[in-house]
Chain A
Amino acid sequence: MRTIRFLLQKEFRQILRNKTILAVVVMVPIVQLIILPLAADYEVKNVSLCIVDNDHSTYSQKLIAKITASGYFKLVDFPESYRDGLKLIESDKADVILSIPSNFERNLIRDDTQELFVSVNAINGVKANLGGAYVLGIIREFNSVIRTEWIQAPRFSNIPVIDIAITNWYNPYMNYKIFMVPGILAVLVTMMGGYVSALNIVKEKELGTIEQMNVSPIRKHHFILGKLIPFWILGMIVLTIGLTVGFLIYGIVPEGKIGLIYLFAAVYLVSVLGLGFLVSTYSETQQQAMFLSFFFIMIFIMLSGLFTSIDSMPQWTKVITWFNPVTYFIQVMRMIVLKGSGFMDILPHLLKVAGIGLVLNIWAIRNYKKTS
């Protein structure tokens, strides 16, 4: 126990003297939590729209007014022809062209049918998809409005309608920030555990000080604990700062017990620290450690369900996500913060993360050799 105390004392002295690490611990969570949730908003706004109105009628004006009033679109131009509209798409000035044919109003009233043409720039897939869908939705609604105008006091509706009412549970206003902040916080804690710890151990290899540790009678598990405990504490500090920022800036108060978040984070950090430690045993230089950690953490974050839904991934990547501790942490964070889940709800996740941690740490301890 005394040995660990000396190791911890040394480690904390070094950390406190290292201004960069301190800045990373304090500033990174604050800055990231301020910037990222705004950028990682899935709602598509400001879709640049150009309308080729060949009709110039009351109805076409009504349709245009309805579209622009929706707030999703930025009307950039009224080109003379569809060809001119395409030029705007080519020069990236417009995302969507809505082409209203001539005689739009006449045909609509006389023939009771009309065709519109929507053309979408699909380079940015998300924007194109949603932008196109918004336009179609508005046109559909426009259609049903003018139909009801025409049908004079019907005895019964000839259009069967199933009206769907949607209630958004746990996040009624679909506020993406509430959804993103816990996820981003999980990623930050992961970086602290998996990245900074690996670099720290490899730095000792580079400097040669680890050799001096290896030639001392210090026990292997003492050395390891002396390295893991400080970063475990730093991870908890990052979490605390992050939760505070989430509350102060976004007003996010976890529905569930905060203690539960800390309990899960405590186990989770052991698991990612195991990853960092494992990476350090395979790297000789900080550069190698950085690339190796980056590789794993990048994949873990991409497959974590932070930005994209795991349910829509192909089966084989889903299998990878079962072994991804980041997935579980993000899920648990969202469960506790948004849904107010209790201990029994997160227990399966907790056990899986503990299992992953056990494997990673045992692997790392076996691979760390005082004698080569």
Chain B
Amino acid sequence: MAEQVIKVERLTKRFGDFTAVDEISFEVNKGEIFGFLGANGAGKTTAMRMLCGLSIPTSGAASVVGFDVYEQTEDIKKNIGYMSQRFSLYEDLTVIENIKFYAGIYGLTKKQIKQKSEELIDRLGLHSETKKLVGALPLGWKQKLAFSVALVHEPKIIFLDEPTGGVDPVTRRQFWEMIYEVSAKGVTVFVTTHYMDEAEYCNRVSIMVDGRIEALDAPRKLKEKFNVSSMDDVFYLLARGAKKAAI
């Protein structure tokens, strides 16, 4: 039995009368690439924010790397990386300044910071761009950099919220290579996406509709279960039933 790093039970978030996340339950295993799918407004980001300690649930229970999402949000934050939908590096700082800043606030030592930033720049091949302002980089590079920065403190889980939105196919492919790389090192990857080809890359995917998880399994098994040939069709079958999502 694999170690479970995320355990969620009947987790719910309500904003007034609106139930954004409605009693969802699932587990994520260590080192797994867990795809979190759903139409716009299905509640993916809200659910992810609760798991990151950014938002306190209304009811239900959840633990992330063994820490409770109600009481131990700051402990969770030490152990996870998070890349939000919106680009979150400082555009008016250079590449190297961003790396060093984030490494610094996660408490890495001077030596670690130096070593990490060299390693990171090597891997991304950004040697000639280190002194460029991040705002001047193309989007694909920005996203790869943001991903690497989110990993700079070697978290146990990385949460990626639509990391490849608006990115070209080649860069997307490279991005997923990076995801596989960290997954192979034992880092759990929790990723939301709208691209169904990306869903196929995940070990398991869940599909959210109207705040509920309607399906959760390996892509291959889901296709068998719904008797269709692609994840696209699975998604379409499930999401079509949504009351509020506009598809």
Contacts and interface: CB of A to CB of B under 8 A. Distances in A.
Chains A and B are bound partners:
yes
A75 B45 CA distance: 74
Interface stretch (A137-145, A211-219, A291-299, A339-347): A211-219
Nearest to B77: A217
B106 A209 contact: no
Contacts of A218: 105
Residue picked from A5, A13, A207, A212, most chain B C-beta under 10 Å: A212
Nearest to B52: A215
B53 interface: yes
A208 B87 contact: yes
A211 B105 contact: no
A14 interface: yes
Contacts of B91: 207
Nearest to B74: A217
Interface string A207-238: 11101111111100000000000000000000
B88 A212 contact: yes
Contacts of A217: 74, 77-78, 106-107
Interface string B134-172: 000000000000000000000000000000000000000
A6 interface: yes
Interface in A3-17: 3, 5-7, 9-10, 13-14, 17
A207 B134 CA distance: 14
B105 A7 contact: yes
Contacts of A216: 77, 102, 105-106
Interface size class of A (residues with CB under 8 A): 20 to 34
A209 B90 contact: yes
Contacts of A18: 92
Contacts of A10: 90, 93, 97, 101
Contacts of B104: 2-3, 5-6
A372 interface: yes
Interface residues of B, number: 29
Chain B at the A interface: mostly helix, strand, loop or mixed? Answer: loop
B135 to A, nearest CB: 11
A212 B88 CA distance: 6
A371 interface: yes
B104 to A, nearest CB: 3
Contact of B107 (A2, A208, A370, A372): A2
Contacts of A212: 82, 84, 88-89, 102
B25 interface: no
Given A217-B74, A218-B105, A14 B93 contact: yes
B238 interface: no
Nearest to B110: A2
Contacts of B105: 3, 6-7, 213, 216, 218
A222 to B, nearest CB: 8
Contacts of B92: 13-14, 17-18
A125 B75 CA distance: 65
Interface string A353-372: 00000000000000000111
B97 A208 contact: no
A206 B67 CA distance: 30
Given A216-B77, A217-B74, A372-B55, A211 B101 contact: no
Interface string A124-168: 000000000000000000000000000000000000000000000
A6 B93 contact: no
B107 A211 contact: no
A372 B87 contact: no
B8 interface: no
A260 B158 CA distance: 52
B73 interface: yes
Nearest to B84: A211
Given A6-B104, A6-B105, A208 B90 contact: no
Interface in B62-99: 73-74, 77-78, 80, 82, 84-93, 97
A370 B76 CA distance: 13
A208 B84 contact: yes
A284 to B, nearest CB: 13
A372 B74 contact: no
A211 B77 CA distance: 12
A304 to B, nearest CB: 35
B56 A372 contact: yes
Contacts of B102: 212, 216
A372 B13 CA distance: 11
Interface of A: 2-3, 5-7, 9-10, 13-14, 17-18, 207-209, 211-218, 370-372
Given A208-B87, A211-B84, A217-B78, 11 more contacts: A7-B105, A13-B92, A14-B90, A14-B93, A207-B91, A209-B88, A209-B89, A213-B105, A216-B77, A371-B53, A372-B54
> Lowest 8 CB-CB distances: which A-B pairs, in order?
A208-B86, A6-B104, A212-B88, A215-B82, A217-B78, A217-B77, A218-B105, A10-B101
